[in-house]
Amino acid sequence: MDARRAAELVIRNSYGRLVAYLAVRSHDVAAAEDALGDALVAALKTWPIQGLPANPEAWLLVTARRRLLDASRHSRVRAAATPALEQIARDLQTAPDMETPFPDERLKLLFICAHPTIDPAIRTPLMLQTVLGFTAADIAAAFLVSSATMGQRLVRAKSKIRDAGIPFELPAIARLPSRLEAVLEAIYAAYNRGWDSFGGADVAPVALADEAIWLARLCVELLPQAAEARGLLALMLYCEARHLARRSPTGAYVPLSQQNTALWSVPLLQEAEDQLLRASRLKQLGRFQLEAAIQSVHAQRASVGVTDWQALVQLYSGLVQIAPTLGAWVGRAAAIAQAYSPTQGLEALDNLPLNKIKTYQPYWALRGHLLAEVQQCDEARACYSQAIELSTDAAVRRFLTEQMAEC
C-alpha cells in the first residue's frame, strides 16, 4: 500500500477519534482539525521516504499534538486551555510512541456539540463534520444549502465552542436527555452513510456503520432510560442483520422483499427485538422506535414467510405524524401499494410536493416500479431513468436498468 493511500485510510477510519481526543484536550475544535490536517500533510511527505510507521494512527496523533503545542506557542491561548495543553506536552514526553490505546472521546464531543448555547439547527451538522468526518459539501447537500453557507455556519459554531468556554466534559446526567436528540440524529446519519457505502459506492468506509452502532450502544449505557436511544440501536441492528443478504454472490443488488432470509443474522435480530421491547416498556414513543418497529415487521418474514403490509401502513402512518420526512412518506406509499394496490400507492406519491422529490432517488425508483405495475411503461421508464441518474451505487443502477428494460 502506498503512503498516500495508507494516510487516507487512517484518516477516514480514525478521523473522529483523533479529532475528539485532540479537541477535548485543547478546548478548540478548529485547532484540533487544523493540527490533524497538518499531520496528514506531514505524513504524505514523510512516509514515502521513511516508510510506513508501525502504527500510522499513533504517528498522526503524536504529530498533531506537537502541531497543537507549536501553535499555542505562537498565539495567545485562553487561560482555560493552558492546563490542557500542558497535559498534552506531558503526554508527548511520557508516551511518545502511543503504545497503549488512547481514550475514545467521540461520545463526549458529540454531547459537547449539542450544548444549548449552540444553534439547534447546526448541532447535527457540527457533529457530522467534527466527530464523524463528513465534509461540508456532503452536509450541505443533505441539508439543502450551499457548501459556502454550511461552511460558514460550521466555522461560527466551532468558534462559539471555543469563545464561550463550553466545558469539554460530559454534562451532568440530568442535562444529557435534552442533548440526546441531536446526538442520535448524527449517529444515524453516520450509520446510513456507512450502509450506503456497502457494495462499492465510494463515499465512506463500511466500518462507519459499525462505529455508529458502537456509539449507539454507548448512549444506551449512558442513558438506559432513554427509549429513543434503544430505538435507534434496535433500528440499526435490524438493518445490520440483513448485511449479507443485500448483495448476490455476483455482487448484484437484492431488494429487501427478495432477500434470502436464511442469510439474515439471527443473533442481531434477537438483540434488536430485545432493545425494541425494552424501549416500548419505557412508554416514550418516538421516531426511531417506530422505524425500528417497521423493520421488525419486515424481520418477521424470516419466521412466518410473509410480510404484514397492512401493519406497515399503520406504522408508517404513525411515523409521518411525528417525523414527516420524505423517506417516511415514500415508505408509506410503498406499503399502501403492497397492502392495497399500485394505483393507491401512486396516489400517495402524488400528494408529495414536487420541489422536495426532484433529487430523492427512492421516490423515482418506487414511482417507476408502480407505473410499470399498472402498465404505464413510457412514464415508468422516465422515472427509472431519473432514479438511475440519482443513484450512486453501481449495483443499484444495474438493478434499476434491468427493471426499466423489462418495461
- Over residues 223-275, the pLDDT tens digits come to 999 999 999 999 999 999 999 999 999 999 999 999 999 999 999 999 999 99
First to last CA, the chain: 45
Tell me the average pLDDT across 297-325: 96
pLDDT over 60 at 309, yes or no:
yes
Residue 160, Cβ neighbours under 10 Å: how many? 17
What is the model's pLDDT at position 201? 41
What is the model's pLDDT at position 199? 47
On whether the CB atoms of residues 236 and 194 are closer than 8 A, the answer is: no
Nearest to 175 by CA among 125, 238, 243, 112: 112
On whether the CB atoms of residues 364 and 333 are closer than 8 A, the answer is: no
Cα dist. 15→39, 97, 255, 326 in Å?
Answer: 12, 19, 32, 30
On whether the CB atoms of residues 122 and 153 are closer than 8 A, the answer is: yes
Cα distance between residue 44 and residue 120, in whole Å: 37
pLDDT over 60 at 108, yes or no:
yes
C-alpha cell at 340: 392495497
pLDDT-derived band at 53 (thresholds 50, 70, 90) equals: confident
Torsion of CA 181, 186, 191, 192, to 10 degrees: 100
pLDDT over 70 at 59, yes or no:
yes
Q: Which residues are 247's β-sheet partners?
A: 253
Cα distance between residue 103 and residue 23, in whole Å: 12
- The whole-chain average pLDDT of the chain stands at 86
Cα distance between residue 57 and residue 390, in whole Å: 35
The single residue listed with the C-alpha cell 434491468 is 402
What is the model's pLDDT at position 294? 98
- What percentage of residues in the chain have a pLDDT greater than 70? 88
The single residue listed with the C-alpha cell 438493518 is 239
C-alpha cell at 94: 511520557
pLDDT-derived band at 103 (thresholds 50, 70, 90) equals: low
What is the model's pLDDT at position 88? 52
Q: Which sign does the torsion angle of CA 274, 275, 276, 277 carry?
A: positive
Tell me the average pLDDT across 206-220: 86
Per residue in 344-376, is it b (16+ CB within 10 Å) or e — as a string?
A: ebbebbeebeeeebeebbbbbbbbbbbbbeeeb
Cα distance between residue 140 and residue 132, in whole Å: 15
> Does an H or E element contain 15, and which?
helix 3-26
DSSP 109-125: HHHHHT-TTS-HHHHHH
C-alpha cell at 136: 461540508
